[in-house]
Amino acid sequence: MTTQRPILVFDVNETLLDLDHLEPVFQEIFGDRAVMRDWFAQLILYSQTLTLIGARENFAALAVSVLEMMGTIRGIAITDRDRAALARALGSLPAHPDAAEALDYLRDLGFRMVTLTNSPPSDGPSALDRAGLGGYFERSFSVAPTGRFKPAPQTYRLVADALAVTPRDLCLVACHVWDTMGLQAMGGKGALVTHGVNAPLPGRSVPQPDLVAADLSSLARRIAEAWPG
């Protein structure tokens, strides 16, 4: 692996912020906290579908729409209270326990770090700011200006253009292989943190992450070893 350091582009939701914080909302609505994982998978599926057909939608609004769709499927009426509860929980996701430690470590080693999220820009403090992580990053990007969701090439190019580099100069750090594959398909690198809920996707034609680790602290050390600078 080349020793030239890439700029680290962190995904936000589930990668840095803990989605398990949403489970009580789904327990209250559906009586089963495990429904949260199905909801998130459907949210990603339909975000990518909208991108493929050229339709524009706000990711936060789509999150509520998917909740309503799942309620219809299960014969459960989604109330305004349910919608508000989901919105509040999404806006207050806590950081993974080792996130600050990992970011401290990488910052001390001189890595450049930014974020890229499907979530729309916030008028006030972002969920990342509220989780205490916003200060680690030189820039925070939303895909919103592109009108597309990750892993559309335009979303990663947005970051590369804003930083005046090429996609090859970036490494996407994410908990989702579909996200790392997106940047890798453009010549960039991918670092996967599994958090015990994801894994690489086998396949001869599937771009495999350059680095894989179970948690952010371990991944940070692998990044430092791969690109000592």
Beta bridge partners of residue 27, listed in sequence order: none
Residue 124 has what pLDDT? Answer: 82
Q: Tens-digit pLDDT profile for the chain (229 aa)?
A: 456 899 999 999 999 999 999 999 999 999 999 999 999 999 999 999 999 999 999 999 999 999 999 999 999 999 999 999 999 999 999 999 999 999 999 999 999 999 999 999 988 889 999 999 999 999 999 999 999 999 999 999 999 999 999 999 999 999 999 999 999 999 999 999 999 999 999 999 999 999 999 999 999 999 999 999 8
What pLDDT sits at residue 70?
97
pTM of the model: 0.96
pLDDT at 1 (0 to 100): 46
Domain ranges of the chain: 7-18+94-226, 19-91
According to DSSP H, which parts of the chain are helical? 23-30, 35-53, 59-74, 80-91, 99-108, 127-130, 153-162, 177-184, 216-226
Tell me what pLDDT residue 3 has. 63
DSSP 8-state assignment for residue 17: B
Closest CA to 226 of 211, 209, 208: 211
Q: In what order do the strands lie in the sheet with 170-174?
A: 139-142, 113-117, 7-10, 170-174, 189-193, 211-213
* Domain 7-18+94-226 sits in CATH 3.30.450.20: no
What's the CATH code, domain 19-91?
1.10.150.240
